[in-house]
Structure 1
Amino acid sequence: MKESYFDITGGLMLSFDASSQKELLLKSIKSALIGGVDVVGLYNTKYIKGLPHELINEINREAGKFDVPLIVIDHWEMLNEAHFDGVYFTGIPEDFNKIEQKLSGDFILGVECSSKEEVIWSNENESDFCIINIKALSEGEIKKLSEINTRTLFLAGIANREELKNFREISFDGVFPDKDAVDGKNFLQITESFKTALSMVFSHE
């Protein structure tokens, strides 16, 4: 098992467009951190203007104040250039062994899975968290994958907090709401809203 500074145990994961205007990006992330977000993700890091590692390091410092891990989505090369905690792959990389060899030190590993084979890969490679996108699968398929999963499980593609009650029969640890459900909205309110909904779902288990 990889050793990492943070344990990913579930809760709320939100992702932010790293290529967006810096002041707005930092304001949104700070609002989510104050609201109690559990994992911060960054996408579009390849399109950051200026020096990517400087922006990522600044975001990492903010997340560190709240003991919240910072995850970069897909752009794993940044792990050797900037300070953050891990990478989330939206699909299992074919050359993962080579990627792992190129990365120095320990890192958090997350992977999106949509089939039995992918969940088994996640289990065998001891990922820190697994993400299943509810939009791509039926409820029955989601339930079957959750039953063979052994990692911390997030459900992705949740459109709103009310949708969470539909998954009380499925064993999961957290949610990764769809970007369309949170973009352009008040991240403090969004975070608090989803955290409250999660606590209600988990209290009924």
Structure 2
Amino acid sequence: MKKALKDGVYLVIDPAMERRLLVEKLRQVPFGNLAAVQLWDNFGPDGVDDTLIAVVAALCRPHGVPLLINNHWEYTRYTGVDGVHFDEIPTDFNAVQLQMCPTAIVGITCNNDLTVVRWASAHHLDYISFCSMFPSATANSCDRVTFETVKEARSLTTLPLFLSGGITPDNIEKLNELDYSGVAVVSGILSAAQPAESLRAYHQKLNRR
């Protein structure tokens, strides 16, 4: 059975973060308050870290929070990984989809190219994530997304739309004119001195929209 993707804060984990610090920060995060968790495709020269997947899956599982992996769709066949987030449209998605776990959640990144939105809607993906709404060190490969793009996307699809890139509790109110389901956050939580407090601050602003 496919897990539900809730509205709210979607946590993105950078595997390049020093492991002991990363695990310490993750253990401070109230996972039950997250929409989803994604392992970013920033694993380094040794490739995907199965040990980290196991650690994060153990934190997600008791709360029913979906764990997604960035790009490495083959890991949807592994216990604990509930879906995949693609950075771009896969070359042969139909063939890939046949090989993935049939209950896998599938999402994709979009910038200002609405072709991606139309493709995602036509192929019945589960959500779209726009990158980057604001300048961001962790989203430096993304173009800046215009508000007009997000508004047009909402007119084209009913899929959940998540916004990412440089979003903080201090600037999130600038997004209030947009119709979106939640925000994807990397450093805004895991680089915070108090991750739980930071997550709470995001939720407070989201709830005031």
What interval of TM-score do these two structures reach, taking the shorter chain for normalisation? Answer: 0.7 to 0.9
**Helix, strand or coil for the counterpart of 1:64?**
helix
User: Equivalent residue for 2:145?
Assistant: 137
Distance 1:105 1:140 in 2: 34
Q: Which residue of 1 aligns with 2:26?
A: 29
Task: State the match for 1:154 in structure 2.
Answer: 162
Name the one with the larger helix percent. 1
- Cα deviation for residue 48 of structure 1 reads 8.5
Superposition deviation, residue 19 in structure 1? 4.0
Determine the structure 2 residue equivalent to 1:169.
Answer: 177
Question: For residues 87 and 172 of structure 1, do their structure 2 counterparts lie closer, same or farther at Cα, with a shift above 3 Å needed?
Answer: same
Work out the percentage of aligned pairs sharing the same amino acid. Answer: 21
What secondary structure does 1:31 align onto? coil
How far, CA to CA, are the matches of 1:188 and 1:37 in structure 2? 11
2: CA distance between counterparts of 1:48 and 1:76? 18
**Corresponding residue number in structure 2 for 1:69:** 66
Mapping for residues 95-110 of structure 1, pairs under 5 Å: 95-110=92-107
Equivalent residues of 1:158, 1:175 under 8 A apart = no
Query: 1:35 Cα shift?
Result: 7.5
Amino acid across the alignment from 1:95: D
Q: What is the TM-score with the length of structure 1 in the denominator?
A: 0.84
Shift of 1:150: 1.3
1:196 aligns with 204
Provide the secondary structure at the position in 1 that maps to 2:118: helix
Structure 1 residues 197 and 175 mapped into 2: Cα distance closer, same or farther (>3 Å)? same
Unaligned runs of at least 5 residues, structure 1: none
Kindly indicate whether residue 49 of structure 2 is the aligned counterpart of residue 52 of structure 1: yes
Moved more, 61-70 or 97-106: 97-106
CA distance in 2, matches of 1:125, 1:90: 16
Partner of 1:43: 40
- Kept in 1, the 8 Å contact 2:66–2:82? The answer is yes
Aligned mate of 1:20, from 14, 17, 21: 17
Question: What is the match of residue 6 of structure 2?
Answer: 9
Q: What per-residue deviation string (whole Å, max 9, x for no partner) do you get for residues 52-106 of structure 1?
A: 3343123112111222111111122222344211011121112212211222332
Q: Deviations over 1:149-181 (max 9, x none)?
A: 21111011143123222222211110113x344
Q: How many residue pairs align between the two structures?
A: 197
Q: Indicate the residue corresponding to 2:191 in structure 1.
A: 184
2: distance between equivalents of 1:167 and 1:155? 9
**CA-atom RMSD in angstroms:** 2.4
CA contact (8 A) 1:35 1:188 kept: no
